[in-house]
Amino acid sequence: MKHILIIIKKEWAEVFQNRMVLFTMIFVPLIFVALPLATLYFTGQSMGGDVAGDLADVPAGFLSECGTDMTASDCMQVYLINMYLLLFMMLPVIIPVTIAAYSVVGEKTTRSLEPLLATPITTFELLAGKSLAAAIPAIMAGWLSFGIFLLGLPMLGVSQVVFRYIIGPTWLLAVMVAGPLMAIAAVNFALFVSSRVNDPRVAEQISVLLIIPIMAALFAQLAGIIVIDLFVMLSYIAAMVLVDIGMIYLGVTIFERETILTRWK
């Protein structure tokens, strides 16, 4: 455990000296908070119009999510805001990928990996330290963003019904459980890629592919193919647990000190 903490501290000390990384970690969450709040604000302003007409654009499958206590205006807001649920899930994926992708291959380029691997640290300790160092700030940023988002809702005059929906099980599970699980998967995937390539740029580019399934889910919801309700979220969490176990196992077993050191040439 001590070695894992040393690696986490080392990674943070290095990463947080980098202004670009800090900027990404602060700016991206702010955008992800601002977007849904702005959407709520502007939809709230324009709800005096043809709400029934607007609701006709909402996929039929989603209307059951609205419940009987919601007005048409509330239902429209919930539908729109539900699109941003995926953004809050995407946040813990986007932030750590850059850090994790650079993690191993970056040490290879600066030639600091060899002396590090020459210490009595085990592969598990090294990878656990690196993945936690990337995942923890991202998870914290995701939770913090969601907290700011919740604080902003009453200020925009969002109705109690909509607020209750957002702090309901689907959203809470998405932000508090699914997001961190995705962060762990993303970080381990990025570390896996990072240990297999020789160029940090390649590692980043490949790792960013991870957001494709989330984007697919976003468009599927927009098209009415799926509705992210509690059942979908629980199924997704169960799947992500399996993915995480698989990714961690794969990362540790495939991390070959020898290949990483010698393939450099």
Q: Which residues bind another protein (CB under 8 A)?
A: 2-3, 6, 9-10, 13-14, 17-18, 110-122, 257-258, 261-262
Q: How far is the CB of 116 from another protein (least distance, A)?
A: 8
Q: Which is nearer to another protein, 57 or 258 (CB)?
A: 258
Whether 135 contacts 183, CB under 8 Å: yes
Q: Which is nearer to another protein, 4 or 233 (CB)?
A: 4
How far is Cα 63 from Cα 43, in angstroms, rounded to an integer?
18
Q: Which is nearer to another protein, 53 or 115 (CB)?
A: 115
Q: Which is nearer to another protein, 99 or 210 (CB)?
A: 99
Q: How far is the CB of 265 from another protein (least distance, A)?
A: 9
Torsion of CA 131, 137, 138, 144, to 10 degrees: 150
Q: Which is nearer to another protein, 109 or 205 (CB)?
A: 109
Residue 232 φ/ψ, nearest 5 degrees: -60, -45
Q: How far is the CB of 257 from another protein (least distance, A)?
A: 6
Q: Which is nearer to another protein, 5 or 215 (CB)?
A: 5
How far is Cα 98 from Cα 24, in angstroms, rounded to an integer?
9
How far is Cα 152 from Cα 133, in angstroms, rounded to an integer?
29
Whether 142 contacts 90, CB under 8 Å: no
Side-chain-facing half-sphere of 71: CA atoms under 13 Å: 10
How far is Cα 20 from Cα 96, in angstroms, rounded to an integer?
13
Q: How far is the CB of 100 from another protein (least distance, A)?
A: 17
How far is Cα 54 from Cα 8, in angstroms, rounded to an integer?
49
Token code pair at residue 208: 């960013």
Q: How far is the CB of 3 from another protein (least distance, A)?
A: 6
Concatenated DSSP letters of 108-167: HHTT-HHHHHTSS--HHHHHHHHHHHHHHHHHHHHHHHHHHHHHHHHHTT--HHHHHHHT
Q: How far is the CB of 89 from another protein (least distance, A)?
A: 31
Q: Which residue has the tokens 């999510």?
A: 65
Q: Which is nearer to another protein, 14 or 204 (CB)?
A: 14
Q: How far is the CB of 130 from another protein (least distance, A)?
A: 13
How far is Cα 189 from Cα 97, in angstroms, rounded to an integer?
9
